[in-house]
Amino acid sequence: MSRALLYAIVFIEGFCSLGAEVIALRRLVPHVGSSIVVTAPTIGFFLLALALGYAAGARVTERYTETVARNFLISALLAGVGLAGLTVDGLFTHLQPTPIAYLAFIGGVLCPLAWLLGQTVPILTNLMQAERTGEASGMALYWSTLGSFLGSLTLSLIVMQWLGVSAAVFACAVILALGALLLAGRRRLTAALATGCIALAAGFNLHHAVTADTAYADYLISPVDRAGLQDGRAFWVNKSLASLIDASQPPQYTRYISHLRQVLRDDLGYRDRDILVLGAGGFTLSHNEMANRYTYVDIDPRIKEIAERDFLHAPIRGEFIADDARRFVATTKRRFDAVVVDVYSSHTSIPTHLVTREFWQGTRQVLKPDGILLANLILDGKLETPYARNLLATIDSVFGRCAVDVLHKGKPIANVVVACFSSSQPGSGRLYVDEKNQADFDRNQTR
């Protein structure tokens, strides 16, 4: 086996193995989020399967190229079908509870793929012509790791961003199938199997039932048949309803957006003000709103294009900045009259770095002295869970006492809008008791 071909094969292995891991993490976001308690076990299982693959490859003593070609074909099938949105969505729809679906995906798709590809380097090292064992293994690992580096960057920063996650899955499957063909030469059976793998990957990925999928989210615009709506359209982000609009005049929106618009325009009487919106959704907060200036910040650079083309059917009202919300508030020199936080990545999941005290301190820093923070949270309707209590306590520790409006009090999970003024300060209160009741004295100070 020529050295150039061997290096090309181990490069493909590295490119596709880490690429599959990146794709798997992205596919999990709509279903289980992207918190550390999801990403850490996923990476851990992947590395464990990779290590077991190294050990399995070290025990192979014959038919080296045939074994690697077979592994590449199976991996192409696992990647093209198992990492497809159709397959992942089906797993999480039909296997409940969610942890069972997660384990099925990790154990049935990601780990077998890592195990098969992990065998590549120890098997092909047997075919390397080198004076020293260290040279052979070192060069093989170099090209494999270089492939991993380029695979993670290329798939996440280029393919997913501009062509979508499904295109990244298809690319991995095609590259693995081509690797099998390079190993097998002109064998007709391998060529037929590789062609079949590519065809299956195309069928599962090139017709994913979403409007768009990017490195950050799956987007779906669907019609809504609901009483009182005229030709309603829903904007779904990672299977979570982010925005709603219809053809009536004035248009109708989701309840929490209508509530936020009322607070800003009617309750506060904002006119000619600067409003920062962290998390773009469908850009409906400023839709047909000419009284104020809006700046949207969202981590996905493609969300503006998707919303304008498929949801609003018109340009957005306001400025759009593609950036991470926490980074933006930490680095911007601009100050705003209002900051609206609406940063859910899926279902009820806020990225964990956007719920900490440090993040809320950052939002306070970009407010003008008389500004207001409005945060849309999805919590239990009774605010009884530890997450609800701790998140609200975290915000209060930065802003002082904030107003809390539960919009769907009769539901287990509700939109909760928190309103905090930058003029208030955190502080400890004291209890009123019969023996020493200072309520009248305190009340007179507020008049």
3-state secondary structure at position 367: strand
DSSP symbol at 346: B
CATH code of the region 3-209:
1.20.1250
Answer yes or no: CATH 1.10.3720.10 is held by domain 218-421: no
User: Position 359: which residue type?
Assistant: F
Q: What is the DSSP string of 163-225?
A: T-HHHHHHHHHHHHHHHHHHHHTT-HHHHHHHHHHHHHHHHHHTT-SSSEE-SS-EEEEEEE-
In sequence order, the 6+-apart residues with CB closer than 8 A to the CB of 239 are 30, 31, 218, 220, 346, 347
Rounded-to-integer distance, Cα 6 and Cα 271, Å = 67
Give me the pLDDT at residue 214, please.
87
The reported pLDDT for the residue numbered 402 is: 93
Please report the pLDDT score of residue 411 as a whole number: 83
What residue has token string 């618009």? 261
Give the whole-angstrom CA distance, residue 221 versus residue 239: 11
Question: For residue 67, what are the CA distances in angstroms to 62, 116, 190?
Answer: 8, 10, 12
Question: Residue 259's CB: how many other CB atoms inside 10 A?
Answer: 18
**If DSSP codes are grouped into helix, strand and coil, which group holds residue 355?**
coil
Residue 40 buriedness (CB in 10 A; 0-12 / 13-18 / 19+): exposed
Cα gap 400→390, rounded to integer Å: 14
Copy the structure tokens of residue 372. Answer: 């207001």
Mean pLDDT of residues grouped by 10 in the chain (447 residues)? Answer: 88 96 93 88 96 95 92 96 93 92 96 96 84 78 93 91 91 95 84 92 83 86 86 89 90 92 94 95 92 95 93 94 94 96 73 90 95 92 90 93 89 90 82 76 66
Would you kindly state where each structural domain of the chain is located, as residue ranges?
3-209, 218-421
Q: Are strands 212-213 and 218-224 parallel, antiparallel or unpaired?
A: antiparallel
